[in-house]
Chain A
Amino acid sequence: MQLQEHTFVHQLGQRRLKGRIFRAVAFGAICVALVMLALLFLDVIADGIGRLNWQFLTSFPSRRPERAGILSALVGSIFMVVLMAVIAFPIGVGAAIYLEEYAPKNWLTDLIQINVANLAGVPSIIYGLLGLEIFARWLSGFTGGRSLLTGSLTMALLILPIVIVSAREAIRAVPDDIRLAALALGATRWQVVRDHVLPYAMPGVLTGMILATSRAIGETAPLITIGALTYVAFLPDSVRSQFTVLPIQIFNWVSRPQAGFHVNAAAGIIVLLAILLSMNALAVYLRHRFEQRLKR
């Protein structure tokens, strides 16, 4: 008995040491990630902050780096992302509601679920090729060819799996008690979904939606495929108009020989980062707000 206790105390010291080592390793891991991110941030900010001014935000691209700006790319990015969200949100959330609340548990539902999960892992360039063939070529009468609408539809396809998966998780997290209580009081299924499940799941749904949108705003490959252009000196006046987006403009500037364009690229990256960070902040804020309201 005594011996056992002795052994136990001895191991405790060792186990505490192991715990501390693990803690240090984990701390090191987060430090590596944060330091790399901070270095990237600082490098880009040091290169581009001096170039960032009102003229840069409100000018069209130009062959002279000091006169060039990102107006058409900025507006193009915003239009494309808003239109994409408008298309992807109802479809994605609708699909999630069907799969979680209505779909019978059978092989067909399983097949759909597996495919949705698989689609989330498909490389984005594949969506670009799909969008090129379907939206830019087959449906060119409706979309206007290589247009803003084509870009938004393609990006909506790209983020749909992410939206569906995150919305499903949010809906699944709603306690069954709530559904059962509402049904017991005579509510129809639609009333249960509308009045109880969706409001409860909304913070999670919105977070997933905004994170998916953040991914889309930095995406270049599918848009290059469907032919978002590089020099566009006009703003889209309809959804069938041609357009460009920030990542494409940045990509073009980085590959130019003149150093002035590299500074422009850095400034463009700062703008893109600012948009991304404010979108993430919005996601956090919305989730917080909805959670507060639910508590009341």
Chain B
Amino acid sequence: MNGRLPLALVLALALVGLFLAACGGGQQGAGDQNGLSGSIVVDGSSTVFPISEAVAEEFGAENPNVRVSVGVSGTGGGFKKFCAGEIDITDASRPIKESEVEACAQNGIEFIELPVAFDGLTVVVHPENDWATCLTVDDLRTMWEPAAQGTVTRWNQVRPEWPDAPLSLYGPGTDSGTFDYFTSAVVGEEGASRGDYTASEDDNVLVQGVANDPYALGYFGFAYYVENQDKIKAVAIDGGNGCVLPSEETINNGTYQPLSRPIFIYVRKDALDRPEVEAFVTFYLDNAAALAAEVGYVGLPDRAYELAKERVAKRITGSVFSGGSQVGISIEELLKIEE
């Protein structure tokens, strides 16, 4: 008896395993008669994640029988799953690329593109930095363009009146949608950037870097600036119409240019035929402005959400961005192009 116990244990465990596997066949039961049921799978950008999480949380409170799950695979990873038909909605911090449109088309996936909020890329410096209070796009280009690599290494090389001190740069890594947008808005070509800066995919690392280096300059999403205002200072940006500091107001009304970018969700057209998905998307657009503000982003103007809802109602598919990020166009103008 003594010797056989372990074997009995093994067999019992194996049986439990088989039992569990056999029970796994059925999905959750029939729907509640008072409401919607089913499951909605959202995945994609880590930038958009906090908004989708907030929407899923609120939607779940109202519709307890709908299981909404939100993953973080990055914008590119999200589109890959989306175009393979594995998920219903993908979060994106940049518009869909031409190659991704093709991948979707190959698998017969039609999508509806919906902007849900603004993110204001924020350029930050150390709080003791009293010279760089307002930067023009040209200044930023001088610092960040590929030609600056190894040559522009001191502040006074950007503007002669600035101190003769080392210029240490911090920014997101090349996989990030933030990097794509910043390079296209500042340098003029998506992905074109100097390589000799401190790069991290974790924005908190960038915050720490700038907070501990008096001669640092970095850029990342607005939410990370809002949460760390005691450690770092935002720089006003002159996009041609004077110096503008990033704030909820200036990002929302389009004066903080060119570093405000819209962020999106992409919805599968055939998934919208499921009532729970349509309800979720409508709920998303109705509440995005309030929830985005709560998690550190800026809502779009009301008119933009109305136009987005029209796109859902009329099932208007395709992207208004023909390839890559567009800089300096207001979101309403873009949505109207389609009408």
Contacts and interface: CB of A to CB of B under 8 A. Distances in A.
B30 interface: no
B294 A63 contact: yes
Contacts of A224: 73
Given A238-B23, A240-B24, A240-B25, A229 B71 contact: yes
A237 B226 CA distance: 39
Contacts of A230: 49, 53, 70-72
Nearest to B15: A86
Interface stretch (B1-9, B262-270, B273-281, B312-320): B1-9
B4 A195 contact: yes
Interface string A66-103: 00000000000000000101110110010000000000
Given A86-B14, A257-B223, A258-B227, A233 B24 contact: no
B204 A252 contact: no
A224 B28 CA distance: 24
Contact of B291 (A63, A202, A240, A255): A63
A12 B27 CA distance: 76
A124 interface: no
Contact of B13 (A86, A202, A237, A258): A86
Give the size range of B's interface with the partner: 35 or more
Contact of B24 (A144, A195, A228, A258): A144
Contacts of A293: 2
A189 interface: no
B10 A93 contact: yes
B19 to A, nearest CB: 10
Contacts of B7: 194, 198
30 contacts: A61-B53, A62-B57, A63-B57, A63-B291, A86-B13, A89-B10, A93-B10, A146-B86, A194-B3, A194-B7, A198-B6, A199-B3, A199-B4, A229-B70, A230-B70, A230-B71, A230-B72, A233-B68, A238-B25, A240-B24, A242-B67, A252-B49, A252-B72, A255-B203, A256-B50, A257-B227, A258-B227, A258-B296, A259-B227, A262-B204
A255 B47 CA distance: 10
Nearest to B205: A255
B156 interface: no
Interface in B1-55: 2-4, 6-7, 10, 13-14, 16-17, 20-21, 23-28, 39, 41, 43, 46, 49-50, 52-54
B296 A257 contact: yes
A129 interface: no
Given A87-B17, A231-B56, A242-B67, 15 more contacts: A61-B57, A63-B57, A63-B295, A83-B20, A198-B6, A199-B2, A202-B6, A231-B57, A231-B71, A233-B68, A254-B204, A255-B202, A256-B50, A257-B227, A262-B204
- Most chain B CB neighbours (cut-off 10 Å) among A87, A234, A293: A234
Contacts of A146: 86
A196 B3 contact: yes
A24 B53 CA distance: 53
Nearest to A233: B60
A149 interface: yes
Interface in A226-264: 227-234, 237-240, 242, 252, 254-259, 262
